[in-house]
Structure 1
């Protein structure tokens, strides 16, 4: 078991299989030592996490949904690394989209669910630049979608 997967196991997390793309795109692209991962939507073992933060979900529920996106991002990273996720050098950037009401302004607190998880799981390798923005709607009505850029060795 890799060092990163051992830490994830300590946190009670098992990486899922990478979801198949829903349209004409790929789950990730590797360019040199950079991995660009397509947006991962909020889902868990029960299915999609849907709803609008500020109406159907509170900030903490949104943050929990964002954490599921981060787990899916790591699963895609592992696939991009041919199964060796320990090739990760660092998380470079996250771009997080929150399906939220027009008056909801805590998008950064929602995306913290992903950011905090990545730092907890990866230590300093998990520290990253980030954007957290509101969206009037997201695919399939999900609460959160996050894309990422990783550097690998």
Structure 2
């Protein structure tokens, strides 16, 4: 069985561990063969790893790392939904990356690449996806990036 922790270990990455927040919605919902993963912020355990606005207090590289952490958290919830078996992923269908940036920051897509590259690294061609990357005026808790996804599974 291809687990998230195995895949992360294989690439020398630290596997995510996210605590479920006390919120009035689920971190992910499966409807048939589609899993919808709620927006994930850059957190490890209960610690937020990045705060600030991209193009001001957060650099492009820091934002890309935050996007990678968000994508790792998307995979964490997907792995839990699939009982620890990422082999059940058919394909990541759609990813949306929200970037809390100053109005003149024009590298939103580059921030999104941090998330996209992680999906491809962990899932190979099954991680190839359609994507939107959007600049936002603010995000929850002042984080620089949030990522959600829609994944086709079996």
What TM-score comes out, normalization by structure 2 length?
Answer: 0.91
Contact 1:18/1:72 (<8 A) preserved: yes
CA separation of 1:45/1:29 partners in 2, compared to 1, >3 Å: closer, same or farther?
closer
Give me the whole-angstrom Cα distance separating, in 2, the residues matched to 1:9 and 1:151. 24
1:136 corresponds in structure 2 to 137
1:34 corresponds in structure 2 to 34
Per-residue deviation, 1:3: 6.0
Structure 2 vs 1, CA of residues 61 and 14 (structure 1 numbering), >3 Å: closer, same or farther? closer
The answer on whether the counterparts of 2:54 and 2:63 sit within 8 Å (CA) in structure 1 is: yes
Partners of 1:28 and 1:3 in 2: CA distance: 18
Q: Which runs of 5+ in 2 are unaligned?
A: none
CA shift in 2, pair 1:45/1:32, >3 Å: closer
Tell me the distance in 2 between the aligned counterparts of 1:140 and 1:105: 23
Aligned residues: 153
Query: Could you tell me how far apart the structure 2 residues matched to 1:83 and 1:3 are?
Result: 5
RMSD: 1.7
Distance 1:126 1:57 in 2: 27
Assess if the C-alpha contact under 8 Å between 1:15 and 1:74 holds in 2.
no
User: Could you tell me the TM-score, scaled by structure 1's length?
Assistant: 0.92
